[in-house]
Chains A and B, each alone.
Chain A
Amino acid sequence: MSTVNGVEVLLVEDNEEDLRLALRSFRKANLTNRIEVVRDGEEALNYIFCQGTHSSRRIEDVPRVILLDLKLPKVDGLQVLQKIKADPRTSKIPVVVLTSSKEQTDVVKSYQSGANSYIVKPVIFESFVKAMQEVGMYWLLLNEPYR
């Protein structure tokens, strides 16, 4: 199901600065070319479910992991998360929730909606790796070429 040239990470982030910091972290880890960035919830859903501007994409080419900001324009992160986890085709994609909030309610709601991990911004590489470890075998097994 994986393709060598497939997207490894789908990053859903609306904040320009946060995005740049995150990409900087990934760049430092040589992950740039495998990162697809979408800037709001709607676009994220279009990408994942191959709709709209992403309708040419095949739904089978799933990303290895989705980094999802919660506070998103149009469709917020939790709704995106719930839709991913509700569809059997996408429900197995690991989703790491990115948020600037330390609110307990956000954490609880995210996990209840099926989030695989939860990272508080700023996304520095160490905490990202830690999150990936929490996401489990998917990442570790599939990540082998990049180590």
Chain B
Amino acid sequence: MSRIRHWLWGSNVRRQLVVGVVLVHALLMTLFVFDLVRREHEFAKERSEAHVEFQAQMLASSSAYAVMSNDLAGLSDILVALRNDKDLNYAIVTDTRGRILAHTDPSKVGLYRSDHSAILAGAPRSSIIQESNSSIEAVSPIIVRGKVIGWAWVMRDLRSVQKYLAYITYAGMAYTATALLIGTFFAFLLTRIVTRQLRMLLAGLNRVAANQLDEPVPVVTDNEIGYVTRAFNEAMQKLRDQQDALREGEARFSKVFHTRSIGINIFRLSDSRCVDVNETYLDIVGYPREEVIGHTAAELNLFVDPESRNVWMKQLREHGRVLNQDAKIRRKSGEVRDVLASIDLIDVHGESMGLIIATDITERKRVAEELQESQEKLALFIEHAPAALAMFDRDMRYLSVSHRYLFDYNLGARDLRGLIHYEIFPEIGDAWKQAHRRCLAGEVLRSEGDRFERANGTVQWLRWELRPWYTAQGAVGGIVLFTEDITERKHIDRELRQKDERLRRVIESMTEGLVIAHENGNKLTWNRAAIEMHHFTGDAEWERSLPDFQNLFELSLPGNKVLPFDQWPIFRVLHGASLRNCEVHIRRKDKNWERIFSYGGMSIADDDGQKIAFVTITDVTERNRAEEEIRKLNTELELRVAARTAELEFANKELESFSYSVSHDLRAPLRAIDGFAQAVMEDYGPTLPPEGQEYLRTICRGAKRMGDLIDDLLAFSRLGRQPLSRLPVDVRDLVSQCLDDLRPAYKDRSIDFQVAVLPPSLGDRALLKQVWINLLSNAIKFTGRRQHASVQIGVQFNDGKVVYFIRDNGAGFDMRYADKLFGVFQRLHRNDEFEGTGVGLAIVQRIVHRHGGRIWAESELDRGATFYFTVEEGTGPS
């Protein structure tokens, strides 16, 4: 029973609601139906009573005449008419005594009603005399003129009324049931809607209870429950935030506690016993947890130097903390590790605890040492690198620089380590500083050429590269800066550009045409002259691609041999040939234009090994024509010259044979004269008178003189034919040699020779020697009568030309005859004064002239003479 009640009235609001609604419905509907039935019953009864009374009265009034007249048949008719009323049990009309005058059941007429007197006691009026659930009977007096003459009785059956009432009851019950059903349904529906939000709230609450705070309750209504839901959600959010915060804090703590990076040990201050440790701490000390918890460090013999522990504890008590102390600890395995530890005092539930935070720094120390070492290695490498390198730490302090760096930036032998880059170079601009920062963030940066204006105004061009360097932990430890001073290169570049420009101008201003072709390209480069030379039409024909030119031009070699396109000079050069004065006939195919071009050219290989051909073009059309003419003229001239030369050669030959004949045949008679005169003198001399002997001697002298004349003349004529060499001649040496040769002529005399320093001359040594011999012997000869002869040999410089001179203090000559001086056989002295043939000076002049020099003389009779001569062309006064 209670289970049912619980089920009905249990924790389910919805069910409660439904049950309540159903119960209320049921109660109200029952009451309503009951009341309705009762009211219907009353109503039906009253209506039945009224109906029966009314029927009785109607019967009484309708039957009054019949009774008075005692018309029984009429009465019976009236009553028969009443029989149609099926609810009418009976209708009776009685007389005052109770005799039945008429009855709906005619068989009862004449009978008496037994209850007549009992009922009819009292005043005659209509009344209900008998009433039950099944029937009702009313009686009404039949009154005529105030006198009761009888009674009308009507009894009605109430069973139809009962039936109706039952029907009403049933209907009411049916309605009640329907109402209950509908009510229940709607209650369900209603409660479903109303309680949905509630149920959600409930589920939410359940989740909260289960600590699931992630999911807020959806708000589906706008009513108070919705409002409550929202408030609930907010509360839940707050709760969740708090929980998250709490959890985060917890997690943080937990993370901290279980961190792999630091070891944590919490110990009781009072007895130094360990309360809790994390795994890392255990890793550090190498003991299992159970051997650490509840024990002291001293018990574990953890400290290699126990004293350090005591110091720590003292510090902890005095200052409340120990900060970043390192110590060596001994692990369980006996291995010694370096540990860095801090201890803080914390309060746990009112008890003082020590919180040790320990880190194993063995590795870090080792790495630091290694890093130090590797850094030093890098620094050392940088220092000796043959490039400008600098290494910085994160604060742009120098760690190392290369010698080259110091040199490039004129820093001498400074030790930059520890100094900040920007203090060394205050002129560094923001752009570079920015680059340094980016590099420190891990970027590699470079520039191919940056202008760096130094504080002293000099400008350097730098190529640089910035690279971060990394520590063993992988963090950027700083920057390595590489720089290269490319100032020189920049200058060279500029010079190259200028040279290029000059070259370009030269090429443009060349009168020679120049065409440049590349091995793998059809584009040609033309200079202005080349374009003009080809008389291209205005539409830039020269810009066509190479193969197009074969449609434009036809090239042929002398003899009209047409060159195939691939044999054109430009291709020959491209294929490696070196051309020089390659004359080609060039003709336009589309118009009347033809020229003769002389091509030259060679190819060079560029950096990629591709050939570049440079072809020079000279228009030799006019030149060829001119040359042709010159050639013609030359040929004529040559023919004439040949003719003349032949004539000359013939004359020369004749002269030679003449000279030869003279030399041999002219002398033969002289020899006979001389020889036989001698023979006479030898054989017959003693027999001859002195006069005769003298004649013979005169004959001999004459013959000898004739011989001398012939010799000199031959020598003189030889000079014209002898080939001339031109070599440097040491004149000083030559003069002293001449003086030696002439010594026999003056060995018995006292002559003062003054020889100056003489410059060399260019000429034929043998011939020049003849000049000097002749002039010197003249000087010796013509000073023959001087007691103190003096011969001065020197040099003058006239307009920079060398003029040799020989001055004597001899007989001299009359300047009036100076023009005869150098003539053949011309003598200014008698033979008995000074011997001579008169050919010597003629020979001298001829030699000097043949050398292109001049000779002249100055003299005064009896005052000596000076002979001047030059050897080189055009020297001396004319």
Q: Is the CB of B674 within 8 A of A122?
A: yes
B residues less than 8 Å from A101 (CB atoms): 660, 663-664
Which B residue's beta carbon lies closest to that of A22? B675
Residues of B815-830 whose CB lies within 8 A of A: none
B667 at interface, CB cutoff 8 A: yes
Tell me, rounded to whole Å, the shortest Cβ–Cβ distance linking B117 to chain A: 229
Q: How many angstroms from the CA of A101 to the CA of B714 in the assembled complex?
A: 10
- Could you say which residues of chain A place their CB within 8 Å of the CB of B676? 17, 21
Residues of B within 8 A of A121 (CB): 667, 671
Contact with A along B668-700 (1 / 0, CB 8 A): 110110111001000000000000000000000
Interface flags for A29-65 (1: CB within 8 Å of B; 0: not) read 0000000000000000000000000000000000000
A16 nearest in chain B by CB position: B672
Does B711 sit at the interface, judged by CB under 8 A? Answer: yes
A128 to chain B, nearest CB (A): 14
Q: In the complex the two chains form, is A17's CB within 8 Å of B664's CB?
A: no
A48 to B711, CA, bound (A): 34
Complex-state Cα separation, A96 to B656, whole angstroms: 25
Q: A81-108, CB under 8 A of B: which get 1 and which 0? A: 0000000000000000001111100000
Contact A17 B714 (CB under 8 A): no
Contact at A100–B663, with CB atoms within 8 Å?
Answer: yes
In the bound complex, CA of A92 to CA of B72 (Å): 237
Residues of B within 8 A of A24 (CB): 679
Cβ B660 vs Cβ A103 within 8 A: yes
Residues of chain A within 8 A (CB-CB) of B675 are 17-18, 21, 122
Q: Are A21 and B679 in contact (CB under 8 A)?
A: yes
Q: A100-B663, A101-B660, A122-B674 are in contact. Are A15 and B679 (CB under 8 A)?
A: no
Cβ–Cβ < 8 Å partners of A21 in chain B: 671-672, 675-676, 679
* B667 & A100 in contact (Cβ 8 Å cutoff): yes
B671–A71 touching, CB < 8 Å: no
Q: Which residues of A contact B667 (CB under 8 A)?
A: 100, 121
Partner of A103, one of B663, B668, B672, B679: B663
- List, in ascending order, chain A residues with CB within 8 A of B674's CB: 122
Contact A17 B671 (CB under 8 A): yes
CB of A18 within 8 A of CB of B668, answer yes
**Hey, which chain A residues are within 8 Å of B660, CB to CB?**
101, 103
Ordered by A's residue number, 5 sampled pairs between the chains whose C-beta atoms are within 8 Å are A71-B664, A102-B711, A103-B663, A122-B671, A122-B675
CB interface residues, B 641-674, toward A, < 8 Å: 660, 663-664, 667-669, 671-672, 674
Chain B residues with CB under 8 Å of A122's CB are: 671, 674-675
Are B671 and A18 in contact, CB atoms less than 8 angstroms apart? yes
CA A24 to CA B672, docked complex, whole Å = 13
Task: List the A side residues contacting B668 at CB < 8 Å.
Answer: 15, 17-18, 100
B799 to chain A, nearest CB (A): 38
Q: Mark B375-419, 1 if CB is under 8 A from A, else 0.
A: 000000000000000000000000000000000000000000000
User: Of all chain A residues, which has the CB nearest B672?
Assistant: A17
CA distance A17 to B667 in the complex (A): 12
Residues of B within 8 A of A103 (CB): 660, 663, 714
Closest to A69 in B: B664
- Give the residues in chain A near B663, CB-CB below 8 Å: 100-103
Give bound CA distance, A102 to B664, whole Å: 9
A93 to chain B, nearest CB (A): 25
Residues of B within 8 A of A15 (CB): 668
Q: Which 3 A-B pairs have the closest CB atoms?
A: A17-B672, A21-B675, A100-B667
Name A107-128 residues within 8 Å CB distance of B: 121-122
Q: For B671, what are the chain A residues with a Cβ–Cβ distance below 8 Å?
A: 17-18, 21, 100, 121-122
What sequence of 0s and 1s flags, for each residue 693-725 of chain B, a beta carbon within 8 Å of any chain A beta carbon? Answer: 000000000000000000100100000000000
Q: How far is the CA of A121 from the CA of B664 in the complex (A)?
A: 10
Nearest to A120 among chain B residues (CB) is B667
B650–chain A nearest beta-carbon distance, Å = 19
Bound together, the chains give a CA A130 to CA B155 distance in angstroms of 230
A71 to B679, CA, bound (A): 24
Are A100 and B664 touching (Cβ within 8 A)? yes
For the complex, what is the distance from the CA of A61 to the CA of B210, rounded to whole Å? 165
Q: How many angstroms from the CA of A101 to the CA of B665 in the assembled complex? A: 9
Interface core residue of B660, B664, B676, B714 (most chain A CB under 10 Å): B664
Rounded to whole Å, the gap between the CB of A28 and the closest CB of chain B is 9
A18 cross-chain contacts in B, Cβ below 8 A: 668, 671-672, 675
What would 6 more interface pairs be, CB under 8 Å, given A101-B663, A102-B714, A122-B675?
A17-B676, A18-B668, A24-B679, A100-B667, A103-B714, A122-B674
Expressed in whole angstroms, the Cα–Cα distance for A100 and B703 within the complex equals 14
Q: Which residues of B contact A99 (CB under 8 A)?
A: 664
Complex Cα–Cα for A122 and B660 (A): 17
How far is B711's CA from A126's CA once the two chains are assembled, in angstroms? 22
Min CB–CB distance A127 → chain B (angstroms): 13
In the assembly, what is the distance between CA of A17 and CA of B663, in Å? Answer: 17
Closest Cβ of chain B to A40, distance in Å, is 15
CB neighbours (8 Å) of B714 from chain A are: 102-103
- A145 to nearest B CB, angstroms? 26
Bound-state CA distance A99–B802 (Å) is: 42
